């Protein structure tokens, strides 16, 4: 066989396969838009008990556990983390954080502390020196004041300088008067003797000169006394009094200057002491933070990593790992203690109106298949989790805690679980699959199979769960309804706002958003889909939700959602859940 013939055979084989597939599709009618023979097969309307519940996905946590938290400020990287699930002993190293930057800061801070100690010592000694200097200055000024006072007293007191000077002046006058009298007497005798020729003329002239000298000396003594009394005494008193006043002011000035200088040195000393205390506190803080880098087990038990708050309806969150950053007060791991387990989940805001604290729950755990555990809603957050806002601004999730009443030893913290909150238990009611109820404008309809033909019928709906919806009117037990509308059906051109009137005027009710993973949570039916009806896993069809409903599920949910405890109409509930 030649190479060209082999090539032709390799091209003809795929072409033959494509022709065969096209022929089969034409026979089935898919490509030509014809209805398959089984298109009008449906599921029967059933009567029986219907459990109304809300579902959520979460994780297990221990009710009572020893927590290990990051106490470092800011954030730090994990450089060591003990393996999850290991049994740790009290005091054993569980986690170590990177504090190399803090160690560098501590070395720098130790230098700052040394400088601060030197500055404080210098400021303290300068303050002590100034105190001594102030004492000396004040003592010197007070001594000068005291001496000035003594000089004043010495001059003014009895037997003082003034009286001594006055007495001297008076004594000088008295001596001068006596000398004058003596000179006069001597001159008189000399004159008599001269007249008789007993003495020479020169002796007479000498005695006359002595008399004149004595008279002048008396006059001088008298003038000196008058000068002392008139001028010298007042002047001296003024000088002494001024000197005392000046010394008093000098004492006040010295004291004030001493206080001012001491205040400066005191402020410098206190500032240096304060700065030293700050530097020491920072050093102690760095030392303390470095000591907190090693997180030790507070007790003996199994180590379980903590998960960050979930940012999606699936719950859970990230677990710590070596190399990842953790933040201050972030919980890193726990050591569960005896006391049972709690299931933690995040409920979408559309589910809140039906969930209350104290409601019974059934909990299934992925790691323990085949067992259903009884629980109770123990806590429902009043505000949305901030983590959900950051990941999706249009999403609001609320933390919910469910206490598991009949836990088993096989339960471990962190295990995935599914929570079903029991809302109501309906007895002997009609119900159909949720896929069989469709929204057409403001009405809820179903397609009923009668004698091989499909009839569009308006129905009334009540409560519903993730799979089934209660029928209040429009259908009878045993009737067949399709899971999807016929391919030729088109919804109403306009979709007015969902009716809030009696049941039967709105689409099927859904008390809250669908639980993840349920049949109806995979999205609304798509008009025009092919596939056999009668199977709940088959293709679905629906009409576009009203604009107000679509807005409520795309960013307007917070402002349009009903408050807790408010009752929505069935049409509003289902349209909102389908839009989501």
Q: Note whether 146 and 232 are same-domain residues.
A: yes
Q: Which residue(s) pair with 455 in the sheet?
A: 448
* Residue 91 in domain: yes
Q: Are residues 240 and 128 in the same domain?
A: yes
CATH of the domain at 114: 1.10.287
Q: Is the pTM of this model over 0.75?
A: no
Say yes or no: 149 and 202 in one domain.
yes
What is the spatial distance between Cα 233 and Cα 162, in angstroms, rounded to a whole number? 7
Helix (H) or strand (E) segment spanning residue 19: helix 3-28
Considering the domain architecture, whether residues 230 and 270 belong to the same structural domain is answered as: yes
Same domain flag for 575 and 437: yes
Average confidence (pLDDT) per 10 residues, the chain, 580 residues: 49 60 48 42 89 87 86 92 91 94 95 96 96 95 94 90 90 92 91 86 89 92 92 92 94 95 95 96 95 93 78 59 92 83 86 87 90 90 71 78 85 86 90 92 91 90 89 92 88 54 40 36 36 37 35 34 38 42
Residue 144 within any structural domain of the chain: yes
Range of the domain at 89: 65-97+293-337
Domain-terminating residue out of 337, 372, 399? 337
Q: What local confidence, expressed as pLDDT, does residue 82 receive?
A: 93
Question: Last residue of a domain, which of 309, 337, 365?
Answer: 337
CA distances from 173 to 182, 185, 186, 240 (A): 14, 18, 20, 28
Q: Are residues 553 and 516 in the same domain?
A: yes
Task: Report yes or no on 180 lying in a domain.
Answer: yes
Classify residue 453: in a domain, yes or no. yes
- Report the pLDDT value the prediction gives residue 11, as an integer from 0 to 100: 53
In angstroms, the CA 51 to CA 62 distance is 29
Q: How many domains does the chain have?
A: 3
Q: Is residue 359 part of a domain?
A: no
- Same domain, yes or no, for 225 and 246? yes
Could you tell me if residue 262 is inside a domain? yes
| One domain for residues 71 and 157 | no
From the list 529, 558, 556, the residue with the least C-alpha distance to 545 is: 556
pLDDT digits 0-9 by tens, 367-399: 899 899 999 998 888 888 766 555 567 778 888
- Residue 534 gets the label, from left (phi > 0), alpha (psi -120 to 50) or beta, of left
Residues 121-176 have pLDDT tens digits of 999 999 999 999 999 999 999 999 999 999 999 999 988 889 898 999 999 999 99
pLDDT value of position 247: 94
> For position 70, what pLDDT does the model report?
93
Task: Give the N- to C-terminal CA distance of the chain in Å, as an integer.
Answer: 62
Q: How far apart are CA 519 and CA 436, in angstroms?
A: 13
Q: Determine the Cα–Cα distance for residues 120 and 143; give it in Å rounded to an integer.
A: 35
In a domain, 360, yes or no: no
80 and 185 together in one domain:
no
Q: How many whole angstroms separate alpha carbon 310 and alpha carbon 395?
A: 12
* Listed residues 290, 322, 354: the one ending a domain: 290
CATH number at residue 82: 2.40.50.100
Whether residue 299 is found in the same domain as residue 284: no
Question: Residue 86: inside a domain, yes or no?
Answer: yes
Residue 229 sits in the same domain as residue 313: no
Residues near 171 by beta carbon (within 8 Å), at least 6 away in sequence: none
Whether 151 and 79 share a structural domain: no
Q: What is the CATH number of the domain that holds 499?
A: 2.40.420.20
């Amino acid at each position: 066989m030649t190479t060209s013939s082999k090539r032709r055979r390799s091209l003809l084989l795929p072409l033959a396969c494509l022709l065969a597939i096209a022929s089969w599709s034409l026979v089935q009618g898919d490509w030509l838009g014809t209805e398959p023979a089984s298109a009008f097969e449906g599921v029967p309307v059933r009567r029986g008990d219907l459990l109304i519940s809300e579902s959520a996905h979460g994780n297990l946590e221990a009710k009572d556990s020893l927590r290990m938290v990051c106490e470092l400020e800011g954030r730090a990287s994990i450089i060591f983390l003990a393996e999850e699930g290991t049994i740790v002993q009290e005091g054993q190293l569980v986690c170590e954080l990177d504090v190399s930057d803090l160690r560098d800061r501590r070395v720098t801070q130790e230098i700052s502390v040394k400088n601060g100690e030197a500055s404080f010592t210098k400021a303290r000694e300068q303050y002590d020196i100034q105190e001594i200097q102030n004492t000396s200055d004040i003592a010197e000024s007070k001594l000068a004041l005291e001496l000035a006072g003594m000089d004043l007293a010495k001059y003014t007191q009895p037997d003082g300088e003034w009286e001594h000077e006055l007495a001297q002046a008076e004594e000088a006058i008295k001596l001068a008067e006596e000398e004058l009298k003596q000179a006069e007497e001597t001159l008189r005798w000399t004159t008599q003797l001269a007249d008789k020729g007993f003495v020479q003329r020169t002796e007479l002239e000498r005695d006359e000169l002595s008399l004149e000298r004595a008279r002048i000396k008396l006059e001088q003594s008298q003038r000196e006394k008058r000068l002392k009394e008139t001028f010298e005494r007042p002047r001296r008193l003024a000088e002494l009094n001024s000197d005392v006043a000046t010394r008093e002011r000098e004492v006040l000035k010295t004291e004030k200057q001493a206080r001012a200088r001491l205040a400066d040195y005191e402020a410098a000393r206190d500032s240096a002491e304060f700065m030293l205390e700050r530097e020491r506190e920072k050093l102690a803080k760095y030392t303390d933070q470095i000591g907190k880098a090693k997180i030790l087990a507070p007790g003996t038990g199994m180590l379980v990593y903590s998960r960050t708050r979930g940012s999606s309806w699936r719950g859970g969150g990230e677990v710590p790992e070596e190399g990842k950053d953790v933040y201050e007060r972030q919980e890193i791991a726990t050591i569960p203690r005896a006391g049972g387990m709690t299931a933690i989940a995040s409920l979408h805001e559309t589910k809140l109106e039906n969930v209350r604290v104290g409601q019974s729950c059934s909990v299934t755990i992925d790691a323990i298949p085949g067992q259903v555990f009884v629980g109770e809603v123990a806590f429902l957050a009043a505000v949305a989790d901030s983590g959900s806002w950051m990941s999706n601004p249009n999403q609001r999730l609320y933390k919910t805690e469910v206490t598991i009443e009949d836990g088993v030893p096989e339960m471990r913290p962190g295990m995935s679980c599914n929570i079903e909150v029991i809302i109501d238990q309906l007895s002997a009611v009609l119900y159909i699959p949720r896929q069989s109820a469709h929204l057409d404008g403001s009405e809820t309809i179903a397609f009923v199979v009668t004698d091989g033909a499909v009839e569009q019928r308006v129905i009334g709906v009540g409560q519903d769960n993730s799979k089934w919806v209660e029928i209040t009117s429009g259908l009878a037990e045993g009737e067949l309804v399709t899971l999807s509308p016929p391919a030729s059906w088109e919804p109403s051109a306009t979709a007015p706002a969902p009716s809030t009137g009696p049941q039967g005027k709105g689409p099927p009710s859904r008390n809250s958003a669908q639980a993840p993973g349920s049949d109806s949570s995979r999205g609304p039916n798509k008009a025009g889909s092919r596939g056999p009806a009668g199977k709940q896993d088959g293709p679905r069809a629906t009409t576009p939700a009203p604009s107000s409903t679509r807005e409520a599920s795309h960013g307007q949910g917070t402002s349009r959602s009903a408050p807790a405890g408010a009752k929505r109409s069935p049409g509003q509930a289902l349209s909102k859940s389908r839009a989501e």
